[in-house]
């Protein structure tokens, strides 16, 4: 049976958006992103939203985004790295499609997110922040049915594995 959607989860910098775009193109599905939905809905950038309305409001919108974006069929959804922390979100994801976790080592993640100003949780010392968040989120992505290590594969190869996993 072909599952209705693909849901990509994983820490910041594991390549959810890049790989999701490629996998969607291969499947002939649409690519959607919960952060992009939130930006459109709130009319604010993610850093503005965190600063002006707080993380709790961002998380509320994130659940709304996941619910809405998984209500149909035929999409590849890239979720934010912290979306898995909510049990409600995890349920919505499991019900909504095949959950695929992308992984990478701490070193690779730090390299990929270095200098990024669009991720509020990483401001004030990327290495320290990534280290602390990885520790705090240990095991948080384990509920995914499929896990793909993105470090020794090209984004195209990761996308290929996702397509294979859903068929
Ligand atoms: C977050 C990850 C970000 C974004 C927000 C919070 C997190 O998404 O949702 O900055 O809590 O890990 P990416 O994983 O796409 O960077």
Q: Which residue has the least CA distance to atom 15 on ligand 1?
A: 80
Residue with tokens 């072909």: 2
**pLDDT tens-digit readout, 63-102:** 999 999 999 999 999 999 999 999 999 999 999 999 999 9
Four-point Cα dihedral 3, 75, 119, 139, nearest 10: 0
Whether 74 lines ligand 1, by a CB cut-off of 6 Å, is: no
Q: What is the pLDDT of residue 158?
A: 98
Q: What is the pLDDT of residue 133?
A: 97
Nearest ligand 1 atom to the CA of 78 is 15
**pLDDT tens-digit readout, 38-50:** 999 999 999 999 9
pLDDT at 167 over 90: no
Nearest ligand 1 atom to the CA of 62 is 9
Q: Which residue has the least CA distance to atom 11 on ligand 1?
A: 82
Whether 121 lines ligand 1, by a CB cut-off of 6 Å, is: yes
The ipTM of this complex is 0.98
Q: What is the C-alpha to C-alpha distance for residues 164 and 167, in angstroms, rounded to an integer?
A: 5
Is the distance from CB of 122 to CB of 130 less than 8 angstroms?
yes
Whether 120 lines ligand 1, by a CB cut-off of 6 Å, is: yes
Q: Where are the alpha helices (DSSP H) in the chain?
A: 16-27, 34-42, 46-53, 55-69, 87-96, 106-113, 126-136, 155-166
Whether 81 lines ligand 1, by a CB cut-off of 6 Å, is: yes
- CATH superfamily, domain 19-166, is P-loop containing nucleotide triphosphate hydrolases (3.40.50.300)
How far apart are the CA of 80 and the centre of ligand 1, in A? 4
Whether 80 lines ligand 1, by a CB cut-off of 6 Å, is: yes
């Amino acid at each position: 049976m072909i599952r209705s959607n693909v849901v990509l989860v994983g820490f910041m910098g594991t390549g959810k958006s890049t790989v999701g775009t490629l996998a969607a193109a291969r499947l002939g599905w649409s690519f959607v992103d919960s952060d992009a939905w939130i930006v459109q809905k709130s009319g604010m950038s993610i850093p503005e939203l965190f600063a002006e309305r707080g993380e709790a409001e961002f998380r509320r919108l994130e659940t709304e985004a996941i619910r809405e974006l998984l209500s149909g069929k035929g999409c590849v959804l890239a979720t934010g790295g912290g979306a898995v922390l909510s049990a409600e979100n995890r349920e919505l994801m499991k019900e909504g499609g095949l959950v695929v976790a992308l992984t990478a080592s701490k070193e690779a993640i730090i390299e990929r997110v270095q200098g990024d100003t669009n991720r509020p949780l990483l401001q004030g010392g990327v290495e320290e922040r990534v280290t602390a968040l990885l520790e705090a989120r240990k095991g948080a992505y384990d509920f995914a049915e499929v896990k793909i290590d993105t470090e020794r594969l090209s984004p195209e190869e990761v996308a290929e594995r996702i397509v294979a996993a859903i068929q």
